[in-house]
Amino acid sequence: MYRLALFTTALLFGASAAAQEVLTLATTTSTDNSGLLAAIHPDFERSTGIRVKVIAKGTGASLQLGRDGNADVVLVHARAKEDEFIEAGFGTMRRDVMANDFVVVGPSADPAGARFATSASGALERIVAADHLFLSRGDGSGTHLKEQQIWRHAAVPTKTDTRSFVAGGRPTQFTSTRPAKGRYISIGQGMGKTIIMATERQAYTLVDRGTYYAFLLADPPRTDLAVVCEGDRMLANPYGVIAVNPKTHPNVNFAAAKKYIEWITSARVQGMIGRFRIDGKTLFHPAHESSH
Amino acid sequence: MQTFKDALENALRLVLSLDANVVEYAQRTLLIALVSTLIASLIGIPVGMFIAERRFPGKRAVVTLLNTLLAVPTVAVGLLVYTLLSRNGPLGSWELLFTVPGIIIGEVLLIVPIVTAFTVTAVARTDRDVRKTALTLGANSRQALWIVFRESRFGVLAAVIAAFGRVVSEVGVAMIVGGNADEFTRTLTTATVQNVDMGNFALALALGLVLLAISLSVNVLFQYFQGGGHQ
Amino acid sequence: MTHRFLLEGVVRRFRQTRSRHKIEALRIEQFAVRRGEILAVVGPNGSGKSTLLEAMAFLARPDEGRVLLDGQDVWATGRQLAARRRCPMLLQKTVLFGTSVLHNVMYGLRVRGMARAEARRRALKTLAIVGMDSLAHRASGELSGGQRQRISLARLLALEPETLLLDEPTAHVDFVNEQLIEEAIRDLHRRLGTTVILASHNLRQAKTLADRVITLVDGSPIPGTMDNLFTGSLARDGDEVVFRDESGPTFRFPPEAVRSEEDGTLPLDKETVQIAIDADRLLLEAVTDQEQAALAGTIASVRRRGDRCRLRIHFATGRGLHAEMTRADYGRLGLNLDTTVAVTFGPGAVRVFPTGG
């Protein structure tokens, strides 16, 4: 009977002991879907006794969770948005954590010839020119922001969609840039779903290398798309960790957030991130590798 | 790429080997369903009996409203509860967003109309003559109410089972309010959605099979009790 | 104080379906039931028989007036639960609870707080009386219509009530069950002196069981007895109004004999109407030759009560009519058993009720 009660409590509150401290981390689907967090979080729990509750959304949604005080710490990849977030007083203690890079993937036969482009924007130009299908996450995530940045550099006419809505009691605008011509579908889904759809439709898309590898190297593989463009400096994808500002949201678990930031930027954990591999492939490059 | 046959085979293996993840999500799902159904029944059955038994102005409007609430999308309830439980929402200080109790609140809101409306139907179907008969045999009003409840017990039980099935199978509230946090709030349905998103079809299918098994059992029970307890 | 029930100024109104309008279902100026009598209430469908019985079963408070039980104004003194327990009623619609036969019969005893073992013993005894003890442990859902009716009666008999209200106790049962049920009612009355009030449209039953018959029309008792009830259709033939039904005699009424209860116009050529021929307003004349009269029959039975007597007139067609008159008139007209009489209908003798009300 006692064991049953304990078990019920554990299920109800999601902790092995009911009173265990919990840190809510809002992060991107790319970090969660790659399996990195599942690999390193047990170490945090062991060394601090704090359990991490991971809410995986796009960068935009994750920052919104921080803005609303529904998360204690955020781990995202969109530098401009991160700075905005901190300047508006929602975040504090930003640190670089790691970087990976984006790749443009597409059908292995590469019907658009994107492989022969010398830059990311060049690759997208070829896809538009070939009138081949391109899938966009379209969810305001870091990947989506990066994709729009590339479109703006590409020599193709773009147009801007603007949607207005109210967030946190303020009217907010969500604008997105997309090519004015060509076959382009904005699906409003996470990274994983986007790869799956691109694979099903044999479309091109922009994906972070970590998630792409996780799908390509899974057994059995979950995608047969090939990398058609990589290495452009514009494709760099730095991740930052930010504590939600306790001055704005006094309820957040700032002490735990601080511990988490110190832990994830520590030399030991940075080493773990660098050693995290899928089938021998490194997915993330720790930010503090050389400095420590 | 995985063929459907492979996925199904792997899924069956996961289910039959009682994969730790599958078991954990199933346990959590059942617990959420049990607790929220219990709470919703404690609210919905008495309210339903009251509505069925009493005459009051606006009764028809209340019944219409209940029947409308049966069709409310789960995501709408999820969104409502999210806004309430969000830290800057009215109930933010309870700190229940992304927790199982938070999900239970949402599920209770979702299924209280189901329990209530089905109870109203079940009781109204038996009520008038049973109640009158009990009174002619000397029952006081409390005893008459009890026999009306007893006579409609199969219908009421069907209401409870329908509500339970709804909780097990819905994804809107569990995903939006629960956030699908691993080891905390991941349920059979949210895990299924996530694994489909991640292309992990074997696990998604395994979870789907468990869901299907639960829904099927629930449905068989529902049919049985709808039919008055005998086939 | 010999009255079991005394109803004074009792009015009951019902809201019509889908309407704010209320209709009056019962209006009783004054009405008494003697202790220990068997009273039959007859009348056309919708005349308020059930409503009257429900008023005496204390199921609902009348909108106006008072119902006295053994001289006590029940609703005014707030004793309706106690009164209801003293006046159990058999409803027109038979509802058995979804338990065993035995538990159904025990129900009334158990809600009165009787111990389980004692209630069980009493229930089994009662089941034996209605010849159903072998079915005690059956589920109520497995019974036939006649058995169900006997069980619902047994539920009341087990209470050994001092008053019993029966609404159409044999409406939907076969002849054998009807006999069994009537015998059980007689037995109860004999053993316990129970006051029985019986609503019935079965006139044979009312006559054979009851000491007294009253007729309700439009929610009120009407003077005299009006128990010649027929259901059929009306048509006009010249001046005369012709009544036909499926099996019985065709009656031809002179226009002054017929009055409509509604608004004065006759519901002619309607599918079904109900007519009641007032036994007090039949005009009888002894005749030697049946051929002389438009309607003639023979006197099949005579019952004398007080200064009045009640005749049964049989027609060659198989049906019959009741007639009532003073014993003085009976003698003056030279009537006797087996006398052939010509029957004519006096002014206002025939009342017409559209059915379904």
Overall domain count for chain B:
1
- B68 and chain A in contact, CB less than 8 A: no
Examine residue B18 and state whether it is found in any structural domain, yes or no.
no
pLDDT band at A254 (very low <50, low <70, confident <90, very high): very high
Closest CA of chain B from A53, distance in Å: 6
Q: What is the arithmetic mean of pLDDT over A54-79?
A: 91
Say whether B99 sits in a helix, a strand or coil. coil
Average pLDDT over residues A243-259: 93
Q: Which residue has the higher pLDDT, C303 or C341?
A: C341
CB contact (8 A) between residue B138 and residue C112: yes
User: Which residues of chain C does B143 touch, with a Cβ-Cβ cutoff of 8 Å?
Assistant: 111
Chain B hits for A221, CB-CB cut-off 8 Å, are 1
- What integer pLDDT is reported at residue C244 of this predicted model? 83
Q: What is the predicted pLDDT for the residue at A66? A: 93
- For C226-295, the DSSP string reads --EEEEEEEEEETTEEEEE-SSS--EEE-GGGEEESSSSS--TT-S-EEEEE-GGGEEEEE-S-GGGSSS
Contact yes or no for A196 and B99 at CB 8 A: no
- The DSSP-derived string for A249-275 is -TTS-HHHHHHHHHHHTSHHHHHHHHH
In this prediction, residue B200 carries a pLDDT of 81
Q: What is the ipTM of this complex?
A: 0.77
pLDDT at C20 over 80: no
Lowest mean pLDDT among A194-208, C173-187, C267-281: C267-281
Q: Which residues of A touch B182 (CB under 8 A)?
A: 38, 54
CB pairs under 8 A between A and B: 88
Task: Name, of A277-291, C36-50, C186-200, the range with top average pLDDT.
Answer: C186-200
pLDDT tier, A113 (very low <50, low <70, confident <90, very high otherwise) = very high
Per residue in C272-291, pLDDT tens? 777 878 888 888 888 887 77
CATH 3.40.190.10 fits A2-100+238-286, yes or no: yes
Decide if C103 contacts B141 (C-beta within 8 A): no
A256 φ/ψ angles, rounded to the nearest 5 degrees:
-70, -40
Ranges of each domain in chain A: 2-100+238-286, 101-237
CB contact under 8 A, A13 and B100: yes
A66 vs chain B: nearest CA distance in angstroms?
A: 10
Q: Best of A28, A55, A217 to disrupt the B interface by mutation (most B CBs within 10 Å)?
A: A55
The residue-averaged pLDDT of C120-126 equals 95
0.80 cut: is pTM over it?
Answer: no
Tell me how close the Cα of B48 comes to any Cα of chain C, in angstroms.
Answer: 21
| B31 contacts on A by Cβ (under 8 Å) | 8, 11-12
Residues of A in contact with B86 (CB under 8 A): 68-70
Per-residue model confidence as pLDDT tens digits over C47-84: 899 999 999 999 989 999 999 999 999 999 999 999 99
CATH of the domain spanning A101-237: 3.40.190.10
Across chain C, mean pLDDT equals 85
One digit per residue, the tens of pLDDT, for chain B of length 231 reads 456 787 788 888 888 888 888 899 999 999 999 999 999 999 999 999 999 888 888 899 999 999 999 989 999 999 999 999 988 889 988 889 999 999 999 999 999 999 999 999 999 888 678 999 999 999 998 999 999 999 998 889 999 999 999 999 999 999 999 999 888 999 999 999 888 887 788 888 889 999 999 989 888 888 887 766 553
- Residue B113, in any domain of the structure: yes
**Contact between chain B and chain C (3 or more Cβ pairs less than 8 Å apart):** yes
Give the C-alpha separation, B191 to B14, whole Å: 14
Of B95, B97, B197, the CB nearest to A196: B197
Measured between alpha carbons, how far is C133 from C147 in angstroms, rounded to an integer? Answer: 11
Kindly state whether B59 is in contact with chain C, defined as any CB-CB distance less than 8 angstroms: no
Could you tell me which residues are beta bridge partners of residue A103? A207
- Residues recorded for chain A: 292
Chain A neighbours (≥3 Cβ pairs under 8 A) are B
Closest Cβ–Cβ partner in C59, C97, C155 for B135: C59
Distances (CA, A) of C207 to A292, C225, C248: 113, 11, 20
Contact call for residues C25 and C14 (beta carbons, < 8 A): yes
B142 contact residues in C (CB cutoff 8 A)? none
d(CA A194, CA C136): 69
Q: How confident is the model at residue A291 (pLDDT cuts 50, 70, 90)?
A: very low
Minimum distance, in Å, between the CA of residue B86 and any CA atom of chain A: 6
Q: How far is B221 from chain C (nearest CA, A)?
A: 19
How far is it, in rounded angstroms, from Cα A97 to Cα A40? 13
Closest residue, chain C, to B138 (C-alpha): C85
Task: Give the residue on C whose Cα is nearest the Cα of B141.
Answer: C81
Give the residue with greater pLDDT, C252 vs A30: C252
- The helix (H) or strand (E) run that includes residue B39 is helix B20-53
* CB-based contact, B183 to chain C, within 8 Å: no
Contacts of B133 in chain C (CB under 8 A): 91, 95, 97, 152
Inter-chain touch B182–A38, beta carbons under 8 Å: yes
Whether B50 maps to a domain, the answer reads: yes
Average pLDDT over every residue of C218-245: 77
Which CATH number does the domain housing residue B45 bear? 1.10.3720.10
Q: Is A54's Cβ below 8 Å from some Cβ in B?
A: yes
CB contact under 8 A, C59 and B139: no
pLDDT digits (tens, 9 = 90+) for A142-160: 899 999 999 999 999 998 8
Burial of A19 (0-12, 13-18, 19+ CB in 10 A): exposed
Min Cα separation A69/chain B (Å):
6
pLDDT over 70 at A166, yes or no: no
Higher pLDDT, C290 or C111: C111
Question: Is residue C22 within 8 angstroms of chain B, CB to CB?
Answer: no
CB contact under 8 A, B136 and C98: no
Cross-chain Cβ contact B151/C97 below 8 Å? yes
pLDDT at residue A8 is higher than 90: no
Q: Which domain holds residue B33?
A: 26-225
Q: State the amino acid at position C152 in one-letter form.
A: S
Best of C50, C110, C111 to mutate (most B CBs within 10 Å, chain B): C111
- Domains A2-100+238-286 and A101-237 in one fold: yes
For C111, the closest of B130, B139, B228 (CB atoms) is B139
Using pLDDT thresholds of 50, 70 and 90, give the confidence band for residue C249: low
